[in-house]
A = this chain, B = another copy of it.
Amino acid sequence: MSSDQTLTPTSYIVLGLLANAGASTPYALKQGVAGSIGHFWSVPHSQLYAEPERLARAGLVSEEREPGGRRRRVYAITDRGREALASWLATDDVRLPELRDAGLLKLFFGAEPGAIAPQLAAGHRERLELYRSLHEGLQRMGEPAAGGALLTLEAGIAHAEVWVAFWERLAGEDQAGDAR
């Protein structure tokens, strides 16, 4: 019951996944992240070994070992973990996110747009199409309780569209300038 109270976003990702998927090994968490929220907030797999340990120390998850074979660690969310997750979900802590985009940083400091815009445009376009197909897939199989994922993807789509338009504009302008 040493609840230090300083939970990070990584903590809530682990708690959230455990709440949705039930007891999981770190590897299962890794799969869970990769297949869903990881598109918007990735977590290196080493953290998915370290973080459940911390949460176990805080009493928010329980830790057991598989009986046979590799005796892997299996984590499950506890009642206190559910409480912590629920109270986080309910609070309106409005820390506005920053863009923190390395491409923008370069642009700001005077990089030639043509040197970076095409690659970024292509990357964001690819991501945009992934989001669209994921969204379509989720919608098609009318999952209940997938509402959060749908909304998340909608936000991702809108942002990817903005980025594609932005970098494509710069790529185009530069190309025009060079061609003249």
Contacts and interface: CB of A to CB of B under 8 A. Distances in A.
Given A41-B99, A155-B99, A166-B154, A92 B119 contact: yes
B124 A96 contact: yes
Interface residues of A, number: 62
B109 A123 contact: no
A104 B158 contact: no
Interface string A17-34: 001100000000000000
Interface stretch (A48-56, A57-65, A68-76, A110-118): A110-118
A91 B85 CA distance: 42
Given A99-B156, A158-B165, A148 B37 contact: no
B97 A101 contact: yes
A159 B151 CA distance: 17
Contact of A40 (B100, B115, B154): B100
Given A98-B41, A99-B41, A148 B108 contact: yes
Given A155-B166, A162-B162, A166-B158, A111 B90 contact: yes
6 contacts: A19-B109, A40-B101, A41-B104, A92-B115, A99-B159, A108-B149
Given A40-B99, A108-B148, 19 more contacts: A12-B105, A20-B109, A40-B98, A40-B100, A40-B108, A41-B99, A41-B100, A41-B101, A41-B105, A92-B118, A92-B119, A94-B119, A104-B152, A107-B152, A107-B155, A110-B148, A151-B170, A154-B166, A158-B166
